[in-house]
């Protein structure tokens, strides 16, 4: 079995070689913007250029690959840490350093159509979900009721 470091290294090389990495979505933390089974296309990114609301692929502290919205930066002992949040999650993710950031979402392939992250509606949704935190709770409640 491969270690997380080997998998992450492979994913980094794939993005560098092909310019993009396509991964299927699992889970519902970014619903309804990203739905289970959507194919998410990530590109290389400079973590210092991240803007609030960008959806970023990173390797969390438990070793899972996660795609959540960039929320803010923190400085801890001269190290920049990045904080993310899923659209339906009630709290923020644990901060990660830039070495754990793999790429930024460019587009979502859903049912033979493409949803670009720079689309006006996508940008507005990102701003809304981060500005009105109660929406995350409403979405989470709806998902929990759905089962």
pLDDT of residue 2: 61
Q: Which backbone phi and psi does 133 adopt, to 5 degrees?
A: -60, -25
Bridge partners of 41? Answer: 22, 107
112-126 pLDDT, tens digit per residue, is: 899 999 999 999 999
> 40: cis peptide before it, omega within 30°?
no
Tens digits of residue pLDDT in 6-31: 888 899 999 999 999 999 999 999 99
CB 93 within 8 A of CB 66: yes
Complete DSSP assignment for 83-104: EEE-TT-SSPPPPEEGGGEEEE
Number of domains in the chain: 1
CATH code at position 85: 2.10.109.10
Any idea how long the chain is?
Answer: 147
Q: What's the whole-model pTM score?
A: 0.93
Residues 6+ apart with CB under 8 A from 108: 25, 33, 34, 38, 39, 40, 41, 114, 115, 117
**What domain range includes position 77?**
4-146
List the chain pLDDT tens, one digit each, 147 residues: 566 788 888 999 999 999 999 999 999 999 999 999 999 999 999 999 999 999 999 999 888 999 999 999 999 888 999 999 999 999 999 999 999 999 999 999 999 899 999 999 999 999 999 999 999 999 999 999 986
Looking at residue 54, its pLDDT comes to 97
């Amino acid at each position: 079995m491969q270690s997380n470091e080997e998998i992450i290294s492979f994913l980094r090389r794939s993005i560098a070689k092909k310019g993009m990495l396509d991964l299927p979505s699992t889970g519902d933390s970014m619903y309804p913007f990203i739905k289970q089974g959507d194919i998410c296309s990530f590109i290389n990114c400079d973590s210092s250029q991240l803007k609030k609301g960008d959806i970023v692929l990173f390797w969390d502290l438990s070793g899972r690959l996660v795609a959540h919205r960039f929320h803010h930066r923190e400085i801890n002992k001269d190290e920049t840490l990045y904080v993310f949040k899923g659209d339906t999650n009630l709290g923020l993710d644990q901060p990660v350093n830039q070495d754990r950031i793999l790429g930024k979402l460019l587009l979502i392939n859903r049912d033979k159509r493409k949803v670009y992250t720079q689309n006006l509606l996508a940008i507005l949704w990102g701003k809304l979900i981060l500005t009105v935190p109660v929406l995350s709770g409403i979405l989470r409640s709806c998902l929990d009721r759905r089962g």
